[in-house]
């Protein structure tokens, strides 16, 4: 087993985005591409010598090969130990839990989340720090800086490590512990929720369909929902993770989880439907005839948190990403707790959670979580809903109607224009930016613009400032449009248009969101000249 120091040179474009480095798989598989980025992670975080890391991924194509490379590089860089999920599998929240529970120095997660996987699809690598959360911007900037000056990387020459067998082995001087990916996570869930109440719910005949979308949550959901909580066998579908997610797009939203949506709106619908994504941090909640938007789900969970054992003492505060609807703000107001508004990206919640300022966090992009880990957590959100349903003994539809009647409804939708020409997308954003000062007071589609700005965030804990986080147009009466370019796409630019309108009239609470938002939707096109600048007549994805 020899340690090799391989000469290399910087590779362009290794800048981590919203959540780590995501590229097309063939890009990641190019000679030295993965190696350069992994060496940059080690160099940018003070070296690997003597450190302990967690390693795992969502099982997508190249996950197994990348894991072997990362292990050999960690060993060659002097790491003390790597704790790795069996067969290099770990859901993102399970990885976050292990990083915290075992008090490690951080972890490397191999995933491109909800993006499709396969030889021609997407792959990704991200570094999480010792708190279990995605590296904050200061760290990702240091890693990026390393990618631009790298001249060599270190790797051990060795045979593949057996990752199928649980237990401890050595790779050179480094210890490798292969762990059951599910066990610690399942234990954590049991410490948070009222498993007795959920068990009783299933025993009473309550039915569920959980769509794991051929991705990582299959084994977790089978073990927890079916084997521990007593959901009928077969309630978890598409439960075997596959390297290309069964050829699908493992993004739990009404478009990509259409089969589940169709079922939930049919006469065969079970009581509750849910789905998670490629790496298990996103969730979709849908009741019988009732799709719950991620923003509404976050608000409902906050309003009902006292029904869950871990949160019955009250929430310290809540946080949402800026484009997430402001339904949460009204719940926070009624609870008399702070509601923080952060830029898009789970990494921005880390400081608030660590400082004990927030207990629950969430994003419109199907992410909800709490201070139990430092990632969003798909299955946790599903269990939270089940706990609430078990206690309230109402349907999802009834819970939503009740919530809107109490707090009003924030009609909400996101329109995505994918793989848009990057120049056109930047041109659209620049034009909006230039016109910002002239917007207040302007009338569009019968609505008056009250304020317009580009969101910047001053972290209240460490004082860091993040600029250029989305353009906001705020209308009198609570309507809002946000324009942002995605930081997770791997092809061209993805323009995200976030649309919101507040309704408090009881008679108008049950409308179709696209209908309720029609004025806001045409205002967005007028303000940003979407059709003219992108050449698109309609969004690719509406959530």
* Footprint on residues 159-188 left by ligand G16 (CB under 6 A): none
User: Which positions ≥6 away from 246 have C-beta within 8 Å?
Assistant: 213, 214, 238
Binders in 53-112 for ligand G16, by CB under 6 A: none
Residue 486 Cβ, how far from ligand G16 at the closest point, in Å?
Answer: 3
Among residues 52, 344, 410, 534, which is the contact residue for ligand G16, using CB under 6 A? 344
CB of 274 to ligand G16, least distance (A): 16
Distances (CA, A) of 15 to 19, 20, 31, 310, 487: 10, 8, 18, 38, 10
Nearest approach in angstroms of CB 281 to ligand G16 is 5
492 lines the binding site for ligand G16 (CB under 6 A): no
Tell me whether residue 19 or residue 147 sits nearer to ligand G16 (CB atom). Answer: 19
Angle CA 183–60–496, to nearest 5: 105
Counting contacts by CB under 6 A, is residue 128 touching ligand G16? no
Please tell me the distance from the alpha carbon of residue 299 to that of residue 412, in angstroms, as a whole number: 13
Residue selected from 113, 359, 413, 543 as contacting ligand G16 according to rule CB under 6 A: 113
Q: Is 293 in the site for ligand G16 (CB under 6 A)?
A: no
Q: Which of 51, 114, 249, 357 binds ligand G16 (CB under 6 A)?
A: 114
Q: Torsions phi, psi of 466, nearest 5?
A: -120, 120
CA distances from 461 to 128, 139, 349, 351 (A): 19, 16, 11, 6
In the shown chain, the binding pattern of residues 395 to 414 toward ligand G16, with x for contact by CB under 6 A and - for none, equals --------------------
Work out whether 367 is an interface residue with ligand G16 (CB under 6 A): yes
Give the range of 2-10, 305-313, 486-494, 520-528 binding ligand G16 by CB under 6 A: 486-494
From residue 229 to residue 268, the character string flagging contacts with ligand G16 as x (rule: CB under 6 A) and all else as - is ----------------------------------------
Do 229 and 385 form a contact (C-beta atoms < 8 A)? no
Got the DSSP string for 170-230?
EETTEEEEEE-TTHHHHHHHHHHS-HHHHHHHHHTT--EEEE-TTSTHHHHHIIIIIIIT-
- Nearest CA among 418, 498, 369 for reference residue 115: 418
Q: Which stretch binds ligand G16 (CB under 6 A): 52-60, 361-369, 467-475, 518-526?
A: 361-369
Q: Nearest approach, Cβ of 251 to ligand G16 (angstroms)?
A: 8
Find the shortest distance in angstroms from Cβ 271 to ligand G16: 27
The answer to whether 530 and 522 have CB atoms below 8 angstroms apart is no
Whole-number Å distance between alpha carbons of 125 and 261: 31
With contact defined as beta carbons under 8 Å apart, do 128 and 45 qualify? no
- Minimal CA–CA distance to 305: which of 296, 314, 297? 314
- Minimum distance of ligand G16 from residue 280's CB (angstroms): 9
CB of 77 to ligand G16, least distance (A): 26
Q: Which stretch binds ligand G16 (CB under 6 A): 160-168, 234-242, 268-276, 481-489?
A: 481-489
Q: What is the DSSP string of 460-483?
A: TTT--EE----EEEEETTS-EEEE
> Which C-beta is closer to ligand G16: that of 19 or that of 295?
19
- Measure the CA angle with vertex 323, ends 474 and 56; round to 5°: 170
In 3-state terms, what secondary structure has residue 5? strand
Of 27-35, 198-206, 343-351, 527-535, the segment contacting ligand G16 by CB under 6 A is 343-351
Binding range to ligand G16, per CB under 6 A, among 330-338, 363-371, 420-428, 505-513: 363-371
Per the DSSP assignment, residues forming a β-bridge with 413 are 499
Strand, helix or coil for residue 420:
strand
Q: Does residue 282 touch ligand G16 according to CB under 6 A? A: yes
Q: How far apart (Å, rounded) are the C-alpha atoms in residues 423 and 420? A: 9
Does 486 interact with ligand G16 (rule: CB under 6 A)? yes
Is residue 363 within the footprint of ligand G16 (CB under 6 A)? yes
Closest contact distance (angstroms) between CB of 467 and ligand G16 is 15
Total binding residues for ligand G16 by CB under 6 A?
16
By C-beta, is 194 or 250 nearer to ligand G16?
250
Binding window for ligand G16 (CB under 6 A); candidates: 188-196, 237-245, 254-262, 339-347: 339-347
**121 lies in the binding site for ligand G16 (CB under 6 A):** no
Handedness of CA 512, 513, 516, 518 (dihedral sign): negative
Binder among 365, 370, 387, 490 for ligand G16 (CB under 6 A): 365
Catalytic residue positions?
113
- Report how far residue 512's alpha carbon sits from residue 257's, in angstroms, rounded to the nearest whole number: 19
**Of residues 191-230, those binding ligand G16 (CB under 6 A):** none
At closest approach, how far in Å is the CB of 378 from ligand G16? 9
Q: How far is the CB of 343 from ligand G16 (least distance, A)?
A: 9
Residues 5-34 contacting ligand G16, CB under 6 A: 18-19
Q: Provide φ and ψ at 408, rounded to 5°.
A: 85, 170
CB proximity list for 242: less than 8 A, separation 6 or greater? 59, 214
CB nearer to ligand G16: pick between 193 and 349: 349
Backbone angles phi, psi at 258, to 5 degrees: -65, -40
Helix (H) or strand (E) holding 251, with range, is: none
Instruction: Please report, as ranges, the residues that interact with ligand G16 according to CB under 6 A.
Output: 18-19, 113-114, 281-282, 344-346, 363, 365, 367, 486-488, 496
């Amino acid at each position: 087993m020899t340690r090799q120091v391989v000469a290399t040179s910087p590779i362009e474009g290794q800048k981590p985005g919203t959540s780590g480095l995501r590229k097309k798989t063939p890009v990641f598989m190019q000679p030295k591409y993965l190696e350069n980025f992994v060496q940059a992670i080690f160099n940018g975080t003070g070296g690997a010598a003597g450190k302990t890391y967690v390693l795992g991924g969502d099982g997508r194509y190249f996950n197994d090969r990348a894991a072997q490379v990362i292990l050999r590089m960690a060993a060659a860089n002097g790491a003390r130990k790597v704790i790795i999920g069996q067969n290099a599998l770990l859901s993102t929240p399970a990885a976050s839990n292990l990083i915290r529970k075992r008090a490690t120095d951080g972890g490397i997660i191999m995933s491109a989340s909800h993006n499709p996987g396969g030889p021609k699809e997407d792959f990704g690598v991200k570094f999480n720090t010792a708190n279990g959360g995605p590296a904050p911007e200061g760290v990702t900037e240091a890693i990026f800086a390393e990618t631009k000056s790298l001249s060599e990387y270190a790797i051990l020459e060795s045979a593949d490590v057996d990752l199928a067998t649980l237990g401890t082995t050595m790779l050179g001087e480094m210890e490798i512990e292969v762990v059951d990916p599910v066990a610690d996570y399942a234990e954590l869930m049991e410490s948070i929720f009222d498993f007795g109440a959920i068990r009783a719910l299933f025993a009473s005949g309550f039915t569920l369909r959980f769509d794991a979308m051929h991705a990582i949550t299959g084994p977790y959901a089978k073990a927890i929902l079916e084997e521990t909580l007593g959901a009928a066998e077969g309630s978890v579908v598409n439960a075997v993770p596959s390297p290309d997610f069964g050829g699908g797009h493992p993004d739990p939203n009404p478009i990509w989880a259409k089969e589940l949506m169709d079922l939930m709106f049919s006469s065969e619908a079970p009581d509750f439907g849910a789905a998670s994504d490629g790496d298990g941090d996103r969730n979709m909640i849908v009741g019988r005839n009732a799709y719950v938007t991620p923003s509404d789900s976050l608000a409902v969970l906050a309003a009902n948190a006292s029904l869950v054992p871990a949160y019955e003492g009250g929430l310290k505060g809540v946080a949402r990403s800026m484009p997430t609807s402001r339904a949460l703000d009204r719940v926070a107001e009624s609870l008399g707790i702070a509601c923080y508004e952060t830029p898009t990206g789970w990494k921005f919640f880390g400081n608030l959670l660590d400082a004990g300022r927030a207990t629950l966090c969430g994003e419109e992009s199907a992410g909800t979580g709490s201070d139990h880990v430092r990632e969003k957590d798909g299955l946790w959100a599903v269990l939270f809903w089940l706990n609430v349903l078990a206690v309230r003994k109402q349907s999802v539809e009834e819970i939503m109607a009740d919530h809107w009647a109490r707090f009003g409804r924030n009609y909400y939708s996101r329109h995505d224009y994918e793989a848009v020409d990057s120049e056109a997308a930047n041109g659209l954003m620049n034009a909006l930016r230039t016109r910002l000062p002239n917007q207040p007071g302007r009338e569009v589609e019968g609505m008056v613009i009250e304020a317009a700005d580009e969101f910047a965030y001053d972290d209240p804990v460490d004082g860091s400032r993040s600029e250029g986080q989305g353009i906001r147009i705020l209308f009198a009466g609570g309507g809002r449009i946000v324009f942002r370019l995605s930081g997770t796409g791997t092809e061209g630019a993805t323009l995200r248009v976030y649309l919101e309108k507040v309704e408090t009239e009881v008679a108008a609470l049950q409308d179709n969101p696209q209908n309720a938002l029609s004025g806001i939707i045409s205002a967005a096109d007028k303000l940003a000249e979407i059709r003219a600048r992108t050449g698109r007549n309609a969004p690719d994805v509406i959530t």
